[in-house]
Amino acid sequence: MTVARDIMSTDPTCVNEDQNLIEAARIMRDLDIGSMPICGNDSRLKGMLTDRDIVVKCLAEGADPGRMTAGSLAEGTPVTVGADDDIREALQMMQHHQIRRLPVIDGHDLVGIIAQADIARTLPEIATGRTVEEISVP
């Protein structure tokens, strides 16, 4: 049985909930990524931050990205999968919630991220195609 930890990208870089959006954007630029986990001072996952969040929820609203924190954009309970959960469950979560990156937790610790690229590299084409299709349907 393939589990989430078998295909996830490890050692995800977090933006701290207290860091401002300029700092978050610079981290994204330096890592060449479009989203990253928001972690709290308690090291727990608070949500996911995307470059689109910064543009739409901060800049387009005329807010100051130097004052707005990453944590202020963490909404609701993050969708996650357990590190030892069957990969089919992870795919279903991504499809159901239409998310391209799924945080992987072990207990309360963030241990990885499953991205579409991870799925494409490790799973059969049919699973990849179905997941991408379901994520992309409006």
* Residue boundaries of the structural domains of the chain: 4-136
**How large is the average pLDDT for residues 11-21?**
95
Whole-number pLDDT of residue 65: 98
Whole-number pLDDT of residue 125: 82
- CATH class of the domain at 4-136: alpha beta
Higher pLDDT, 76 or 97: 97
Helix (H, G, I), strand (E, B) or coil at 125: helix
Q: How far apart are CA 91 and CA 42, in angstroms?
A: 28
Structure tokens at 9: 């990208």
Structure tokens at 113: 């991220």
pTM of the model: 0.86
Q: What is the Cα gyration radius of the chain? A: 15
> pLDDT per residue over 47-94, tens digit each?
999 999 999 999 999 999 999 999 999 988 899 999 999 999 999 999
- 16's CB contacts (< 8 A; 6+ apart) are 38, 39, 40, 41, 70, 71
